[in-house]
Amino acid sequence: MGTQAPSDHQNNNYVGTSDEEIRRRKQIEDWLPITSSRNAKWWYSAFHNVTAMVGAGVLGLPYAMSELGWGPGVAVLVLSWIITLYTLWQMVEMHEMVPGKRFDRYHELGQYAFGEKLGLYIVVPQQLLVQVGLNIVYMVTGGASLQKFHKTVCPNCKNIKLTYFIMIFASVHFVLSHLPNFNSISGVSLAAAVMSFSYSTIAWGASIDKGIQKDVEYGYKAKSAAGTVFNFFGAMGEVACAYAGHNVVLEIQATIPSTPEKPSKGPMWKGVIVAYIIVALCYFPVALIGYWIFGNNVEDNILISLEKPAWLIAMANMFVVIHVIGSYQIYAMPVFDMIESVFIKKLKFPPSATLRFIIRNVYVALTMFVAITFPFFGGLLSFFGGFAFAPSTYYLPCIIWLIVKKPRKYSLSWWTNWICIVVGILLMVLAPIGGLRQIILSAKTYKFYS
């Protein structure tokens, strides 16, 4: 892989800066979680990307298919896969497009394209919404999967509230969140990537084993035209939510060493391709087979539709728990990086273990509290899916590409980017409408902390 290249804290980032200031900045960069370790191999990129992408959202894909229908459903799935692979390629390419400088964080790329202030205002709220939103959703998913595991293994036991299971799930993160940087969580991430492939395979394999249900129907569930349209919008958000890896891709690439002869985009892209093949092997069979077997009676988590064999479903739920532990960490790491940067660079706190301990524990506690308060899984997914995932995944990379690379007007690259932008904006506007309706319907029957 070659030796570590002169990173941005050794070169043109610091022209005209005093030696003392350069030393201080380098010390900070060497302490922050994203830039402290740059010795990752290409396969780290593969399993970090799988862990970031194949969230528990994959288990909601058959339900999304039931709201989209066969034709539109397949089209949305395939288009999302192609568009997000294209925008991910753009981000990998843009990581080192300025010689001697690396955009280690999404907002740094945004600042380069839109300007110092505007870049922050455009990128940071979206990125935080996705990362914090997913951490909350993963808290709910982890707790719900633990609860399902408990019910499956011990059907006659006393019923325990979801609140307690979310707390049990959160307790793991009060420990794991103190791993210092991306490379230190690579073991957790590898386990998570293996688990995501395993439970996806169980989901579609057990569906085939169960066979097509007797009363299977493929028509739309909603009784009214308005209901069908709203469900359709919500389902688009759920699919968008299944491709959220762009929010951590530059941060993952920042951990790969880079030299002028061997830039990081080579190994990173290799990892992305492997990850996307695994994503396709997880998403398409689960979505299509799950819908084919259960039709529009499929639950918003396909493992709930599959009640037997009990041991297999219990195992799948435990796999989901292990996977979501890894996913939580992947999305929390850039958030820790942002918060720690603010405390050290803006508020001038000295880098210390105590600071890190307090920041990370408070963050885990806050995501746990919100998850316990609002555990509407499906609605949350499509609401966040459209609102923040669509911009950061579907069209923000294209806008930055048009600003920075300036492709010739009406060329293939120009058209491709504009088509992605239009699709992304439609998704951003329509998906939250469906998601919000779903949350309102869930909230009608919901009791706080029940």
- In whole angstroms, what is the distance from residue 34 CA to residue 64 CA? 34
- Write down the residue that tokens 């590898």 correspond to: 190
- In whole angstroms, what is the distance from residue 321 CA to residue 317 CA? 6
Q: What is the dihedral of CA 240, 244, 246, 249, to 10 degrees?
A: -160
User: If you compute the radius of gyration of the chain from its CA atoms, what whole number of angstroms results?
Assistant: 22
- Write down the residue that tokens 């935080």 correspond to: 128
Mean pLDDT of 27-40: 80
Residue 416: which pLDDT band, with cuts at 50, 70 and 90? Answer: very high
pLDDT higher for 354 or 28? 354
Both structure tokens of 139: 């808290």
Tell me the CA distances in angstroms from 432 to 7, 139, 328, one per residue in order. Answer: 40, 21, 23
- In whole angstroms, what is the distance from residue 118 CA to residue 140 CA? 33
pTM of the predicted protein model: 0.85
pLDDT of residue 380: 64
Q: Is the confidence at residue 3, as pLDDT, over 50?
A: no
CB neighbours of residue 276 within 10 Å: 22
Q: Is the confidence at residue 378, as pLDDT, over 70?
A: no
Q: Is the confidence at residue 293, as pLDDT, over 70?
A: yes
For residues 434 and 235, is the Cβ–Cβ distance under 8 A? yes
Q: Is the confidence at residue 271, as pLDDT, over 70?
A: yes
Mean pLDDT of 273-284: 91
For residues 236 and 427, is the Cβ–Cβ distance under 8 A? yes
- Tell me the three state secondary structure of residue 180: coil
pLDDT higher for 273 or 311? 273
For residues 114 and 18, is the Cβ–Cβ distance under 8 A? no
Both structure tokens of 335: 């958030």
For residues 261 and 92, is the Cβ–Cβ distance under 8 A? no
| Ranges 2-6, 58-62, 206-210, 267-271, most confident | 267-271
CB neighbours of residue 158 within 10 Å: 5
pLDDT of residue 364: 95
Mean pLDDT of 116-145: 87
- Write down the residue that tokens 């009406």 correspond to: 410
pLDDT higher for 400 or 6? 400
**CB burial string 120-139: b at 16+ within 10 A, e below:** eebbbebbbbbbbbbbbbbb
pLDDT higher for 418 or 3? 418
The chain-wide mean pLDDT, for the chain, equals 83
Q: Where are the beta strands (DSSP E) in 23-64?
A: none
- In whole angstroms, what is the distance from residue 19 CA to residue 447 CA? 59
Q: Is the confidence at residue 245, as pLDDT, over 90?
A: no
Q: Is the confidence at residue 71, as pLDDT, over 60?
A: yes
Minimum mean pLDDT range among 94-108, 301-315, 360-374: 301-315
Minimum mean pLDDT range among 103-117, 264-278, 428-442: 428-442
Residue 360: which pLDDT band, with cuts at 50, 70 and 90? Answer: very high
Q: Which domains are assigned to the chain?
A: 8-444 (1.20.1740.10)
Tell me the CA distances in angstroms from 142 to 4, 129, 138, 239, 351, one per residue in order. Answer: 38, 19, 6, 20, 32
Residue 104: which pLDDT band, with cuts at 50, 70 and 90? Answer: confident
Residue 9: which pLDDT band, with cuts at 50, 70 and 90? Answer: very low
Mean pLDDT of 351-358: 90
Residue 446: which pLDDT band, with cuts at 50, 70 and 90? Answer: low
CB proximity list for 189: less than 8 A, separation 6 or greater: 44, 47, 48, 51, 326, 329, 330
pLDDT of residue 417: 94
Mean pLDDT of 251-258: 87
Mean pLDDT of 93-97: 89
